[in-house]
């Protein structure tokens, strides 16, 4: 099963992708995580991407398209994958359609997680992530048992550098202008599954599972 998780910054794409990975045993392919990983390694690609990420803009299409094309052909993606944060522009969506045609694959469901923008800022500024295992937390909605320590592996929790108020504002504007039009793109392909993204994380997981099964 090949799935796209679509939604604004803070909608819960990463949170739900991690839960769905456990259920369906297909990998989460997050372009944001891949770019942050490249930056951590100090690669030229990571350093180039940082310029865009820090401003709340988008990394050029050809860069992320290349990353995804390579990633979905790895052995662990043989039974499917969950694209989280890709595609994000109509250029990326069209390129993905072409790549999938070449590979003889298709997207089964595009899950659009819908959360009012008034709720997103608080979700993002309160987010904390484990440096070691990538687990996600929220200071209010999903707090770690011990301050700044990951419940799962004991790693250190950090705040993403783009989760400050001014970058979040730019990221939300970028989403409205460049990514939101993909809702119509996939609606026209008959693949769009709209999910109310307000509620507990488990409620939202159940809503997503209901449309996938």
Could you say which of ligand AP5, Mg ion, none residue 207 binds, taking C-beta under 5 to 8 angstroms by partner kind? none
Contact residue for ligand AP5 among 71, 138, 193, 207 (CB under 6 A): 138
Whole-Å CA distances, 83 to 5, 33, 48: 6, 11, 22
Exposure letters 20-46 (e unless 16+ CB within 10 A, then b): beeebebbbbbbbbbbbebbeeeeebb
Q: What is the DSSP secondary structure assignment for residue 105, as one 8-state letter? A: -
Q: How far is the CB of 196 from ligand AP5 (least distance, A)?
A: 10
- The minimum distance between CB 163 and Mg ion, in angstroms, equals 11
The reply to whether 81 sits near ligand AP5 by the rule CB under 6 A is no
Residue 141 binding ligand AP5, by CB under 6 A: yes
State phi, psi for 136 to the nearest 5 degrees: -105, 145
What spatial distance separates the first Cα and last Cα of the chain, rounded to whole Å? 11
Q: What residues between 36 and 75 interact with ligand AP5 by CB under 6 A?
A: 52-53, 56-59, 64
Least distance in Å: CB of 113 to Mg ion?
11
Residue from 120, 100, 124, 122 nearest 110 by CA: 100
Site string for ligand AP5, 10-29 (x = CB under 6 A): xxxxxx--------------
Chain residues that interact with Mg ion, rule: CB under 5 A: 14
Q: Contact at 8 Å (CB) between 71 and 33?
A: no
Residues designated as active site: 13, 88, 127, 160, 171
Total number of residues binding ligand AP5 (CB under 6 A)?
A: 35
204 binds ligand AP5 (CB under 6 A): yes
CB of 95 to ligand AP5, least distance (A): 11
- Tokens 């707090």 belong to residue: 143
């Amino acid at each position: 099963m090949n799935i796209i998780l679509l939604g604004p910054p803070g909608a819960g794409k990463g949170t739900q992708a991690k839960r769905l990975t456990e259920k369906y045993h297909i990998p989460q392919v997050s372009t944001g995580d891949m770019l942050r990983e490249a930056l951590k390694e100090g690669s030229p690609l990571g350093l180039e991407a940082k310029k865009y990420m820090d401003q709340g803009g988008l990394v050029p299409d050809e860069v992320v398209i290349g990353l995804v094309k390579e990633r979905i052909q790895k052995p662990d993606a043989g039974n499917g994958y969950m694209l989280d944060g890709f595609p994000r522009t109509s250029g990326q969506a069209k390129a993905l359609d072409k790549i999938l045609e070449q590979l003889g694959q298709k997207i089964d469901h595009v899950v659009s997680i819908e959360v009012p923008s008034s709720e997103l800022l608080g979700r993002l500024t309160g987010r904390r992530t484990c440096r070691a295992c990538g687990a996600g937390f929220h200071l209010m909605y999903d707090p770690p048992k011990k301050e700044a320590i990951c419940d799962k592996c004991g790693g250190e929790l950090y705040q993403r550098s783009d989760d400050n108020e001014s970058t979040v504002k730019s990221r939300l504007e970028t989403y409205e202008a460049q990514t939101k039009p993909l809702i119509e793109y996939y609606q026209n392909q008959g693949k769009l599954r709209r999910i109310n993204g307000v509620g507990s994380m488990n409620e939202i997981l159940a809503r997503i599972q209901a449309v996938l099964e």
